[in-house]
A and B are shown apart, each in its own frame.
Chain A
Amino acid sequence: MNIQYKKGVIELCILSSLRKRDMYGYELSEYISDKIDISDGTVYPILRKLKSDGLVKTYLSEESGGPPRKYYSLTQTGAETFSRDAKEWLSFTETVNKMLKGEE
């Protein structure tokens, strides 16, 4: 599938994953590329964009026997944006699916 299609969706997938729990960059990257076929590291610039837009924030957390890891967590704005965009996405894809199947 076209990479530009995927990028917008990946933003939504990242927000959705972070709604469940905070994750560090690599963890998120693997979690998403497990499910969606993208090249490694695609999520890092997207995480950067989400942070710059104020939808996610980062904090450092000490791990036992390793360097501190940078964790990503959802901001309130991020949570609000997610619930709005997810709703839009669901109704959008529903329409597109119907069109592609020739129902409309």
Chain B
Amino acid sequence: MTRNRFMEELGRRLKALNVPDAEEILAEYEEHFDFKLEEGKTEEEIARRLSSPQEIAEEYAAVNRPQNKFERGAKIAGITALSVPLCFVYALMWAAAIVLGAFAACALAAGFCLITTVNIAELIPQMPYLPALLTGISCFGLCVLSAVGCVYAALYVTQWGRCYLNWCRRTVRNSSAPALSALPKVSKKFAYGTKLLAAIGLVVFVAALIAGYAAMCLYAGSLEPWHIWQWFE
């Protein structure tokens, strides 16, 4: 079969089987002929080494299980309708992750102010330096803990978004590809590091908070130091 006959036949078969993007497919085979001719093969030889145009067209037709235009349209409409409310839910998920991040930043700022005794607008109540130092350290622990939480929240929300988009794509195209995992993929090193960091953050937060409170009680000579130091007067 000559190159022209082969390409014509392939074009005809692809059209008959309703295969989308036929031009792109034909371009791939034209390129194949170009390369093989450059290597010194004849058109006949090249065509013989390829499968028949009918077989090739059937391979392409089998890529997506056939569905008619109505079915595809209905799927697109359904997915669009579903996506509008889901967009709001998804925005809320991101908002939660951002709030967690902002919380981490606040904890960092509070810890910094407590330790350096920078008291902006008298927001931090009066207390001796030792309990301030200890509660400041506990704020750093809280910051690390919530920062790790924020990173994981962002990873999960991103992955869920990808899962949903992938599902939409597979549904509309009638693809048989496997679903994406709902768990974000992180390296073992990263998972180990963040777990360790979160554990350290938690221990520091709890230990320093208890120690700070105990120090306050000792200085104030009372279990309710805020009464002695008149924090809420």
Contacts and interface: CB of A to CB of B under 8 A. Distances in A.
A49 B62 CA distance: 9
- Chain B interface size range: 20 to 34
A45 B59 contact: yes
Contacts of B36: 40
A40 B46 contact: yes
Interface stretch (B131-139, B174-182, B196-204, B215-223): B174-182
Interface residues of A, number: 21
B169 A54 contact: yes
Given A40-B49, A41-B50, A77-B166, A25 B63 contact: no
A29 B169 CA distance: 27
Contacts of B49: 39-41
Contacts, number: 63
B112 interface: no
A42 B51 contact: yes
Interface in A39-84: 39-42, 44-45, 48-49, 52-55, 69-70, 77, 80-81
B35 interface: yes
Contact of A53 (B29, B56, B60, B177): B177
B29 A49 contact: no
A29 B185 contact: no
A45 B50 contact: no
B32 A48 contact: no
Interface of B: 25, 27-29, 31-32, 35-36, 46, 49-51, 56, 59-60, 62-64, 162, 166, 169-170, 173, 175-178, 180-181, 185
